[in-house]
Every structure is written in C-alpha cells, then in structure tokens.
Structure 1
Amino acid sequence: MSMTIGKKSFGEKAFDTFNVVFLTLFAFTAVYPFIDVLVVSFSTPAAANVYGLKLWPREFSAEAYKAVFDNRMIWVGYYNTVYRTVLGTFLNVIFTVLCAYPLSKKYLPNRNLFTMMIVFTMFFSGGLIPNYLLVKELGLLDNRMALILPGLIAAFSMIIVRNYFMSLPEEIEESAKMDGANDFRVLFSIVLPVSKPIIATIALWYAVAHWNAWFDSLLYISNPEKTVLGNVLRKIVIEGSAQFQQFESYDPTRENAVTPDIIKAATIMVATIPIICVYPFVQKYFVKGIMIGSLKG
C-alpha cells in the first residue's frame, strides 16, 4: 500500500478554505469599524454622509485633523495622558515586580496566605464610595497621582509575574548569592534581564489601561488643565461640550468646512493611533510571557 506524505485530501483542502474565508470575514467585521472611522475622518462632509461601505475616502480632506490639532484641550489631554501612562506604567511594573519576587520564594513565611489575600482583592473591592473617600482623605483630589497610586499593583498581573519567577531555575540565583549578591542584586541583575517577555507583557497591559482610563479622572480631577485625553474625547464625542470642543460651527458655504461627526472621527483616531503603534514592538513577547507565567503556581 502506497502512501503520499504531505498531500492533503479534498476534505482537508475544503476545511482549510472554509477556515480562511470564515476567519477573514470575522477579522474584517472586527476591523471595519476602525476603518470606517478612519475613512470618515479623512473625508469631506459630502463624502462622509454617503451611505454604504466605506473602505477609502471618496473625497480626501485633512481639515478635520487640522481643526483637532488646533484645539488646545487636545494637547492638554495628551500631555496629562502621556504623563500618566509613562509614570504610571513605570511605577506599576516596579511595584508589581517587587511584590511578585518575594512571593515566588518558597522560603517566605506565610507566602500562600499573602498570595490569597491579594487574590481576594480580584473578587471583592471596597467599592466606589470608599475608594473616593480614601483618595480624599489622602489629599489626592485634583492631583495627578490620584490616577496612579490607587491601582499601583494589579493582582492579576502580579500573579502572572510571580508564576513566571517561579519557573526560573533556582540554581542561577543560588550561584549569585554564593558570590555575595544580595536579593536586590539578584533581582535587578539576574532575574529581570531574563524576564523581558513577562515584563513587556504587563507593561503593555498597564500602559493600555492608563491610556484608555477616563472614569477615575472624571471622579478625582476637577481642574480641566489636569484632565486626561480620554475625558476630553468623551466630552467631545458624547457630551458635545463647547468648553472642550473649541471648534467652529459647521458652515456648508465655507470652503474646507468640516462637520461635528468628522471632527469626532478625527479626535477618536488621534486618541487611538498612538497606543496601537506600541503593539508591534511588544507583541512578540505576549505568547511566551503569558504561557510561562500561567503554567506554574
């Protein structure tokens, strides 16, 4: 009986074709809303109001982006969001690592108890009002640190990092300690350099969370000069606040006029594109970091 290795049957080819077509259509349904907003943001009012599938601008115009970048509140929101994302992500990663590393050591007294106490916070929290009162009593109202300190360590991220550290060979750390290295030297000189996948993974999680967050800014920040981009976007897109829009009213007789809907589309793209650009640089660490960090523990 002869057998051809590597040759697919008709059923296998049909199944592969169905998979490709189905997944392509599924991916398109997920990506199309983003494409639609992008096309509208680069369209003239007449082209933007045309019904039907929009895959490219029928009449190209960048006036909406000119209007968005001329809006001072967009830049204020950008500054506050970048400040929060950079500082917040840095502190998140540092404190998550400092919490996860000792909990990964079997010789730590009551290690399981401390871990369970942290896991408990994933299911039960104080609630909105106690959190607000805590921030108020700490004197953090209308302070940018109110957007960073309450969520300094995410329990889920800490558990993932802890499990990753537990997967590392203990012999590496033991040899370093025999040479006189203390725990901090071992952590920062040996453990962290070989933990780039998990560090990159949680850093992206924290960065995306900070970039997209707006509700805590709505609660704790009353000064418009300290509000984040997500709140500016919310006020422009949902509330239509004149204070935050600062755009000229639509006049169809004026050359290069833009409608509020085009302005909203351009604002959404301006707020979304930067964080999307970060993904390609850390995506390669995702699978390795999450898989290793979730297997042991």
Structure 2
Amino acid sequence: MQNTKPTGYAPANDNHKLAYYIEGEGFPVFIFNGFTCVQANLKYAIEYLKNDFQVISWDYRGHGESMDKAGMHSSKANLDQFMADANSVFDHLQLKKAHIFGYSMGAQFSMQFAHDYPEKVSKIACLNGIYGKVFDQFLGTDLLGKILPGLPREIPWLNEAYKTLWKATHSIPFEIKFRIATIALLDRGLAKTEDVKPFLQSMSTLDGEFMLALAQEIHQHETYSFLSEIKNPSLIIASGSDLFATPAISEKVHRLLPDSELIIISKGTHNSNLEKPEQIFPEVLRFFKA
C-alpha cells in the first residue's frame, strides 16, 4: 500500500515546508511529479521501484501537503524556485546522487535539474514529458498557447476571479470530472476509478492564481536549447494516444539527447502511468538497474 502521509518536511530556501515521501531502500530514485498532481499519480511508479531502490517523491509547493500559504505567492511559481526546492529536498536528505524519474511537467523539471545540478544526477527516465511550449499543441490546437501567456496576473480582482473560477470548475461532481477527463486525457476502459479519484478530487484544493502562474511558466520555459548538453543516460517514454504530450515531442527530445532510448506505449493517454503501469514501469526498472 502506498504511503500517503509525508515521511517528513524539508525547508525550502524561504522556509516553505516541502513534504516528501520515502519508500524502499537502496540507490535513490528522486521523482518529479506532474502539474497539479498528487502522490496517487505516482502509485504504480513507487510500487514497481521500491523493492530495488529508495524511492523519494515530494509535493511541489502549492501541491498536496506542501501548501503553506506564505510560500504560494504567484511570484514563486517559477522554474528557478522549483529547482531550488528540489535541491532543498536533496540536501535535507543528504543525497549525493540519484536516478531521476519525471512524469509530464516533471520531465521538463527533470531535464532542468540535470542541467542545473549535473553532479547530482545519474540516469533520467521521463514519461509523457512536456519540455516547453506545450500548450502550443494542446489537444491539436495552438489556441491555449496563444491565450495563456497574455492572461494578466497584476490585477487583484482578476486574481480573485481566477481562484473562484478554478474552485468552481473543480468542485463539480467526480463523475462529471471523470467524463470530461476521458474526452482527451484518460482512457476509462484502462484506468481504475479508485486510481484516478484522488487526483481529480484534489484539484479543488489548489490555488487557481498560483496554478495559472505555474502554467504560464512551464509554457514559456523550454529545455530544448540545452538537451544536447545532457550526457546522462536517458529513457524517454511516450504514449501513443497522448494528445497533450504527443509522441512527436518525445521523439524530438530523443533526437536531441546524446544518450537516450525511446519507447512508445501503444494506445496509452497522458495518464498511461495509471492505465498501463505493467508496460511502463518494468521498463523504467530495467533501465535504472542496468
């Protein structure tokens, strides 16, 4: 059973408390989760890896159990802060080096962390990764990529409106949210309801202003310019039916990385981590153990 209570908290450079979770023993695997994701999204990754490795997952600021309001100003929703947060967890746990696993937005963060702290990274595995400018291709259209960067965040009443809209949107009944998710981001025939529910239900607890700022940041930031400098052995996994982080994105990353392996999982959506864990995580385990 997955540990859903934090093992402890690491202090960030601004003293924001970052919740972390540790399962298993051995060489460490450090996980970067996805945008708005909770520990339930990592259920199968941890389950498959914890018998051979010490698996360390954590909640980003503004996510899960890392929800100190003082550290959730929208100015903190930037890559520099999130990389510093990851390094704070590393240092708190006295990790010298670790394999890195990144899912979705976590793939973008994984590559940035490997670029910023190369001495701390061994191998890198990424699943359904976004690596920058992701909303330019969201669901096959560039509409969101055009709108998102221009949404203002300097007007107080608008920030309150973002928060209200986010909470209202994500407070609808679970079954409706589940049906909406299955339109493009989830295969109802493959994913178990009990695996998806904690993630969808947690969305209403997030801060809409902070999430908008983070979405703008991960869209504007990109890693392609330095991927050729990442020398670490890397495993890039894409899912054939992912309309968010399309296989073409992973193929591009594979071409840019000097030492990488590419696997494309047939039919899986952006949530293939919950749909097809038996195809994905044995490959991640194989790669890390090699």
Q: Which TM-score band applies after superposition, normalised by the shorter structure?
A: under 0.3
| Structure ID, larger Rg | 1
- TM-score, structure 1 length as denominator? 0.24
Bigger proportion of residues as helix: 1
Higher RCO (Cα < 8 Å, 6 or more apart): 1
